[in-house]
């Protein structure tokens, strides 16, 4: 079996904690213990709460010395560079010298917690330091607790904790992206603009590089056996035991012979192994004599073009996309891979955002249909009720979606999508049992293959998200928080049969906001969606996504996150306080991409 230790060969970024203190001798002596205790408390909060994608706790690095001036600040910067720090949090309990203690690296996300006391107020330093950051054009996040605390109380208030965690989750994503690759397998699928890979977008906004492989490389590896044969046998046995083949939707005269269907199973398993090896490499290949192929492309995300040059001749990529993006396979539970259908790299990067923020699998979906209550009544004779009463959005992908999207995993007894380390064997079995692998429609996928047929459980909090590229603006992000819903089985069948019933379905209802120009009704959400695709994350993660977007200088053009939950660099308020969306656009334009 493959060793996954090489998946993050460069390791994970650390969070740097900078304890800041007044340089005056007597003040420094009075506050040094408290300041260092605050720094250690922040580190403890983060390491006990946050995990990396492999399940390991995040690592915090505290400055070797308190920072009271330029020399100590420089030593801290050098220490953090040696120890792989990718984001920083400065902590101060009292007044300090802002220009002498600040961090000047504009590419590392930075937050400042100023202790809200009255004896020696760190809030005064916080105000002066964020002003210095703003004046120098280095945006920073301002963390200021609402309630005044006693000087001997070094506990972290709940509101401060929320901001520290939100900043850290988003900052870790920024640091994780830098230096990684997006692997494009093939090119543009069926004229979809989201498949166009814009190198400058990845370079300037994420610090990433792009890698390109023609789909003939997959053919070569299949034909020459460039994959681990032992793992292939184990995978084939696992698929036979766990993947339920569903009814063939094709007319009798168009159905493939059983022998061809069996060969297609063998091919799609090889496609999954090869795609994974292309992304992260596989040391086993070197031992088999394929040294070059063993390296991989250090790809944190990838896309497979598939349609139509591949699918007109070979089995569809549905299986590889569904199984790789799931939290388990023949090797057991493991971190999902991010692989986009049709090489829609904009959806891939969106899925990557959601995965790195939650550590859970993501669902790739078409934003297929808005069903109004009137249309549902006309077609089914039944009335939508509950949160679906004002209409639903049919999210359905062209064949694959992560099996986690079935909703068969549970949190407190409710449907969920969880990090792989929290999955039980029963939950894995339940996900597999909820999926029917349906032979593809031969008029659309002439090479055959198997689509992932399931319906998502209702009641899951979910966030649908998308990044779009807009000429004259650049990237913009949009999101809608809401819930999955289950329809009565006969209603679902009538609606599902009107599209492609062999594909995975998620019925979604966004949270509505009265009198909002977009979120006042469900129809407007779909009407304003910027693409035919979206990524779906478990949970309401919109606030984290907005914080992340601000770090990357990507404006958000559509969201239903409460204003009180918005957390952006403090300088955003200088671009306007009465119109947060407009201020976001102006700030992102003024600062430009993070790696410009």
Q: What is the mean pLDDT of residues 97-105?
A: 92
Residues 6+ away with beta carbon under 8 Å from 445: 307, 311, 315, 316, 399
pLDDT tens, 343-382? 999 999 999 999 999 999 999 999 999 999 999 999 999 9
Q: Which of 296, 303, 403 is nearest to 349 (CA)?
A: 303
pLDDT at 1 over 60: no
**Residue 538's closest CA among 441, 462, 438?**
462
Mean pLDDT on 100-117 = 90
Outline where DSSP puts E strands in 152-215: 181-185, 209-213
- Confidence class of residue 145 from pLDDT cuts 50, 70 and 90? confident
How does DSSP assign 302-337, residue by residue? EEE--TTTTTTTS--SHHHHHHHTSSEETTEE-PPP
pLDDT digits (tens, 9 = 90+) for 382-425: 999 999 999 999 999 888 999 999 999 999 999 999 999 999 99
Tokens of 88: 């920083």
From residue 413, give the alpha-carbon distance in Å to each of 79, 307, 524, 548, 572: 46, 39, 33, 30, 41
Question: What residues form DSSP beta bridges with 303?
Answer: 184, 340
User: For 245-403, where are the alpha helices, taking DSSP H only?
Assistant: 258-280, 283-287, 318-324, 345-358, 373-380
Give the rounded percent of residues in the chain with a pLDDT score beyond 70: 98
**Stretch 167-180: mean pLDDT, rounded?**
97
Q: Which residue has the higher pLDDT, 302 or 121?
A: 302
The pLDDT of residue 4 is 54
Q: Which residues contact 308 (CB under 8 A, 6 or more apart)?
A: 189, 190
Tell how strand 85-92 and strand 14-20 pair up: parallel
**213-240 confidence digits (pLDDT tens):** 999 999 999 999 999 999 999 999 999 9
- Is a pLDDT exceeding 80 seen at residue 432? yes
∠ CA(199), CA(204), CA(210), 5° rounding? 30
pLDDT, tens digit, for every residue of 259-295? 999 999 999 999 999 999 999 999 999 999 999 999 9
Residues 6+ apart with CB under 8 A from 190: 307, 308, 342
CA distance 555 to 447: 41
- pLDDT score at 118: 60
The C-alpha angle with vertex 479 and arms to 478 and 483, in degrees rounded to 5, equals: 160
- List the domains of the chain with CATH numbers: 14-177 (3.40.50.1070), 181-591 (3.20.14.10)
> What's the pLDDT at 292?
95
In this prediction, residue 93 has a pLDDT band, given cuts at 50, 70 and 90, of: confident
Residue-wise pLDDT for 436-484, tens only, equals 999 999 999 999 999 999 999 999 999 999 999 999 999 999 999 999 9
Q: Is the pLDDT of residue 3 over 80?
A: no
512 near 521, Cβ under 8 Å?
yes
In which residue are the tokens 């965690």 written? Answer: 165
pLDDT (average), residues 33-62: 96
User: pLDDT > 90: what percent of the chain?
Assistant: 87
pLDDT at residue 434, rounded to an integer: 98
Overall pTM surpassing 0.85 (yes/no) = yes
Q: Give the Cα separation of 68 and 90 in Å (integer).
A: 12
CA distance linking residue 213 with residue 203, whole number of Å = 19
The answer on pLDDT for 546 being more than 90 is yes
Residue 332 confidence (pLDDT): 96
Element housing 478 (H / E)? strand 474-485
Of 505, 442, 400, nearest to 311 by C-alpha is 442
Tokens of 250: 């094709």
Contact 177, 294 (CB under 8 A): no
- Using alpha carbons, select from 145, 104, 108 the residue that is nearest to residue 126: 145
Tokens representing 194?
A: 């989201």
CB neighbour list of residue 463: distance below 8 Å, 6 or more residues apart: 354, 479, 480, 481, 482, 536, 537, 539, 540, 541, 542, 545
Q: Is it true that the peptide bond before 574 is cis, omega within 30 degrees of 0?
A: no
β-pair type (363-371, 533-538): antiparallel
Greatest distance between any 2 Cα atoms in the chain: 90
pLDDT at position 62 is: 98
Please say whether the beta carbons of 160 and 89 come within 8 A. no
pLDDT at 323: 98
Distances (CA, A) of 577 to 161, 369, 457, 527, 592: 24, 36, 40, 28, 20
Structure tokens at 591: 């600062």
* Binding residue positions: 342, 366, 533
Query: Band of the pLDDT at 149, cuts 50, 70, 90?
Result: confident
Cite the active site residues.
Answer: 342, 366
Which conformational region is residue 273 in: left (phi greater than 0), alpha (psi within -120 to 50 degrees), or beta? alpha
pLDDT at 509 over 90: yes
Cβ atoms of residues 561 and 73 within 8 Å: no
The 3-class SS string of 66-83 reads: CECCHHHHHHHHHHHHHC
Q: Which residues pair with 16 in a beta bridge?
A: 61, 88
| Alpha carbon distance 433, 358 (integer Å) | 25
- Is the distance from CB of 123 to CB of 115 less than 8 angstroms? yes
Nearest by Cα to 169 from 542, 544, 543, 539: 544
Per-residue pLDDT band at 5 (split at 50, 70, 90):
low
CA distances in angstroms from 149 to 155, 287, 503, 525, 527, listed in the order given: 9, 61, 55, 43, 48
CA 283/CA 243 separation, integer angstroms: 28
Distance, CA of 279 to CA of 185 (rounded, Å): 10
Between the CA of residue 37 and those of 30, 44, 279, what are the distances in Å? Answer: 13, 10, 42
Mean pLDDT of the chain: 94
Numbered residues of the known binding site for Mn(2+): 342, 366, 533
């Amino acid at each position: 079996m493959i060793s996954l230790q090489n998946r993050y060969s460069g390791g994970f970024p650390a969070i740097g904690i900078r304890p800041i203190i007044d340089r005056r001798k007597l003040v420094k002596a009075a506050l040094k213990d408290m300041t260092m205790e605050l720094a250690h408390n922040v580190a403890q909060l983060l390491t006990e709460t946050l995990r990396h994608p492999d399940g390991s706790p995040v690592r915090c690095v505290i400055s070797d010395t308190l920072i009271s001036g330029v020399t100590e600040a420089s030593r801290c910067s050098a220490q953090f560079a040696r120890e792989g720090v990718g984001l920083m949090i400065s902590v101060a309990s009292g007044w300090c010298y802002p220009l002498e203690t600040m961090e000047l690296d504009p590419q590392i996300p930075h937050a400042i917690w100023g202790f809200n006391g009255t004896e020696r107020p760190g809030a005064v330093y916080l105000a002066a330091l964020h002003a210095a950051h703003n004046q120098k054009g280095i945006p920073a996040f301002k963390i200021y607790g609402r309630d005044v605390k006693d000087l001997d109380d070094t506990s972290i208030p709940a509101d401060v904790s929320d901001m520290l965690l939100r900043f850290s989750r988003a900052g870790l994503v920024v640091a994780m992206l830098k230096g990684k690759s997006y692997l494009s397998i093939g090119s543009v699928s069926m004229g979809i603009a989201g498949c166009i890979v814009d190198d400058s977008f990845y370079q300037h906004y994420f610090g990433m590089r792009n890698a390109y492989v023609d789909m003939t490389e997959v053919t070569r590896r299949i034909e020459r056996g460039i994959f681990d044969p032992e793992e292939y046998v184990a995978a084939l046995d696992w698929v036979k035991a766990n993947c339920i083949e569903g009814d063939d939707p094709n007319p009798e005269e168009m159905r493939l012979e059983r022998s061809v269907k069996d060969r297609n199973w063998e091919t799609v398993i090889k496609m999954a192994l090869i795609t994974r090896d292309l992304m992260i490499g596989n040391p086993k290949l070197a031992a088999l004599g394929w040294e070059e192929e063993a390296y991989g492309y250090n790809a944190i995300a990838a896309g497979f073009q598939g349609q139509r040059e591949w699918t007109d001749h070979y089995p569809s990529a549905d299986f590889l996309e569904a199984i790789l993006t799931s939290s388990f396979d023949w090797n057991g539970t493991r971190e999902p891979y991010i692989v986009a259908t049709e090489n829609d790299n904009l959806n891939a990067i969106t899925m990557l955002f959601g995965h790195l923020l939650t550590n859970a699998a993501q669902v790739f979906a078409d934003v297929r249909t808005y069903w109004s209550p009137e249309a549902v009544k006309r077609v089914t004779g039944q009335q939508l009720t509950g949160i679906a009463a004002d209409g639903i959005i049919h999210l359905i992908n062209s064949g694959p979606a992560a099996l986690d999207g079935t909703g068969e995993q549970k949190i407190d007894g409710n449907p969920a999508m969880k990090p792989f380390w929290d999955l039980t064997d029963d939950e894995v079995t339940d996900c597999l049992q909820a999926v029917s692998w349906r032979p593809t429609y031969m008029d659309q996928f002439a090479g055959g293959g198997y689509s992932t047929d399931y319906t998502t459980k209702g009641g899951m909090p979910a966030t649908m998200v998308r990044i779009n590229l807009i000429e004259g603006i650049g990237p913009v992000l949009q999101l809608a928080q809401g819930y999955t819903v289950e329809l009565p089985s006969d209603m679902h069948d009538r609606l599902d049969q009107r599209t492609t019933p062999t594909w995975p379905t998620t019925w979604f209802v966004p949270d509505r906001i009265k009198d909002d120009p977009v979120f006042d009704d469900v129809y407007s959400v779909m009407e304003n969606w910027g693409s035919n695709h979206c990524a779906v994350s478990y949970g309401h993660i919109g606030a984290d996504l907005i914080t992340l977007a601000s770090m990357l200088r990507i404006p958000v053009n559509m969201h239903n996150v409460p204003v009180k939950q918005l957390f952006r660099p403090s300088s955003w308020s200088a671009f306007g306080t009465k119109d947060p969306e407009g201020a976001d656009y102006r700030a992102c334009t003024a600062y430009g991409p993070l790696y410009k």
